[in-house]
A and B are shown apart, each in its own frame.
Chain A
């Protein structure tokens, strides 16, 4: 089997194994897996409303997935997408609330840029610490997540609102809501962010594959020492990669704040989108097109799962288990490639 095929086979087999394990769990717990997965499908694509919801869920997943994938290509593991997303969410909503008389062409890009900037700043700190002091980015980004959670909650309660648990809705001039898309999908919460997500994916592909900057970032990811020897500034590239990754995550947060919810509220825990972004990026092989496809799959799983208890009586948490197992199988790709190798040997005999 050629290398190209293995690259495709690992995620596909992982998803199938994950779904298979989900089916086994359903059988063991006394449910009908066919009914369960049928309900999942109906809940994700059953009619235009559900399709709209799936695409809406896919939007922040694309941004979170791109953020993780971008850092990964430079050899960095950004677990901090969750926190970068939260600060981006807060910043975009803040800008969306602060100005009342700006035209939409100015206000909306400004609010999104604020989200990107906040996320970039949150990514800069671990990037800087990694580049300058060789501090491992995984631990720093985890700590930054919790800092972001508490800081954003503090700002919502004490700075942006007067002790309330949620901010007001952002002004119309900063809103991503689209009457056209809502009509098209039977009044789902689908908003214009989906276009931005697709553009961002194309942008990431172009940046990584077609520019000098992208070449340098990938080179640093492959081999830091060789890149250094070739005259690249490794430290600058590490910081830059985390900043761009954080900006993607921050825009993902802006999608939530300006589109899906239209405001921000106190979060008692994480939204999970940042962590799901890790799964999206891994499954998508850290490529732009892979991230878009994986985001569609996870969006469908998440939205479709809500229909499972209604139509088939299967608790929707089943999907969390399936997602966990998919990550697990992708991570253990050595096992899959090894098994594939065994099959091939047998065929040769």
Chain B
């Protein structure tokens, strides 16, 4: 293989693997920026993946190849609903948000596997037909070199992921709503004094994180795993959480980190066909995202600080 082909292959498979992580990590950014820790991202991805696959299998005869897009919408709603449960626990009932997130993960896995058994009478679903595939983008992929590297073999959700990342940055940093959301996460009492409804803002943020988490899971299921079983989502949600932290709770940072993790993941898969990487044991590439996150937190790669009020329920009148 010549260098250009190798680079094109790595870029294309990195972005492919990164896409679900970008969506989910952005979901994490919304939730945590408002002061609600969301360990439940994994569960939201599970419920999204499950909903998308079941929707896809059920309606593929009715909607044909548009099914995958409608399945994304269904998965977003399912993720949003589940995240509201996390919202109720951590905002209204003042639950420990980490514990509630753990419960969400358990619940999503138990519920989806229970329903798979109930609907299909077996442990995993069939493969779906309507799926997202890598395509060459018309016109742009004809540009010499750049077109081959960046615009060939790209799935449509990847483009959406990048657009939504920029949109999230705009919403969070350039709109009044974003300012309120961030203020609620940094200093809820000050925000409350200024007339911001802390509870409502947090509910909206958690709901958005559910929509994006469900979307991430659905994209993963419909582009990478193509079916649903207990092993479909195993840690992608936590990797998205890592991407969010590695990206310092910033939408574009989270996107960058997700792409980097996708890069590490794809290296561990395509690495064996690349000359100097085939001698590196896969384990180093497999643990790279996690070790790098720890190093980032420890301050070796610039300090990463969580929003100040992240993890604490807001109780009116408490100082």
Chain A residue contacts of B96, Cβ below 8 A: 331
A321-B100 in contact (CB<8A): no
Cα A7 to Cα B103 in complex, Å, equals 20
B298-A320 in contact (CB<8A): no
A328-B114 in contact (CB<8A): no
Chain B residue contacts of A8, Cβ below 8 A: none
> How big is chain B's contact interface, by range?
35 or more
Cα A33 to Cα B105 in complex, Å, equals 24
A335-B106 in contact (CB<8A): no
B102-A147 in contact (CB<8A): no
CB distance from B238 to the nearest CB of A (A): 5
A39 near B: Cβ within 8 Å? Answer: no
Cα A324 to Cα B106 in complex, Å, equals 5
* A-contacting residues, B88-139, CB 8 Å: 89, 92-96, 98-100, 102-107, 109-111, 113-114, 117-118
Number of A-B contacts (CB under 8 A): 138
Cα A334 to Cα B39 in complex, Å, equals 20
A328-B281 in contact (CB<8A): no
B287 near A: Cβ within 8 Å? Answer: yes
The interface-forming segment of A135-143, A174-182, A235-243 is A135-143
A321-B297 in contact (CB<8A): no
Q: A315-B117, A332-B93 are in contact. Are A150 and B294 (CB under 8 A)?
A: no
B111-A146 in contact (CB<8A): no
Which one of B89, B111, B234, B298 contacts A129 once the chains associate, using CB atoms below 8 Å? B298
Q: A138-B98, A320-B106 are in contact. Are A269 and B238 (CB under 8 A)?
A: no
* Chain B residue, CB-CB nearest to A319: B110
Q: A318-B114, A328-B100 are in contact. Are A139 and B297 (CB under 8 A)?
A: yes
B281-A158 in contact (CB<8A): yes
A320-B109 in contact (CB<8A): yes
A139-B293 in contact (CB<8A): yes
Chain B residue contacts of A144, Cβ below 8 A: 290, 294
CB distance from B220 to the nearest CB of A (A): 15
> How big is chain A's contact interface, by range?
35 or more
A321-B107 in contact (CB<8A): yes
B118-A29 in contact (CB<8A): yes
Q: Mark A139-170, 1 if CB is under 8 A from B, else 0.
A: 11011111100110110001000000000000
Chain A residue contacts of B104, Cβ below 8 A: 324
Which one of A269, A309, A315, A334 contacts B93 once the chains associate, using CB atoms below 8 Å? A334
B106-A323 in contact (CB<8A): yes
B298-A278 in contact (CB<8A): no
A275-B235 in contact (CB<8A): no
Q: A147-B287, A275-B106 are in contact. Are A335 and B93 (CB under 8 A)?
A: yes
Cα A279 to Cα B107 in complex, Å, equals 12
Q: Mark A14-36, 1 if CB is under 8 A from B, else 0.
A: 00000000000100010000000
B306-A317 in contact (CB<8A): no
B95-A146 in contact (CB<8A): no
A331-B245 in contact (CB<8A): no
Q: Given contacts A275-B106, A328-B100, A332-B89, list 20 more A-B pairs with CB under 8 A.
A: A29-B118, A133-B297, A135-B299, A142-B242, A143-B293, A146-B289, A150-B287, A268-B234, A269-B230, A279-B106, A282-B99, A315-B118, A319-B110, A320-B109, A321-B110, A324-B105, A327-B99, A327-B106, A328-B85, A328-B95
What are 8 A-B contacts defined by CB distance under 8 Å? A25-B114, A135-B297, A154-B283, A269-B235, A275-B105, A315-B118, A324-B103, A324-B110
B interface with A by C-beta (< 8 Å):
37, 39, 85, 89, 92-96, 98-100, 102-107, 109-111, 113-114, 117-118, 230-231, 234-235, 238-239, 241-242, 245, 281-283, 286-287, 289-291, 293-294, 297-299, 306
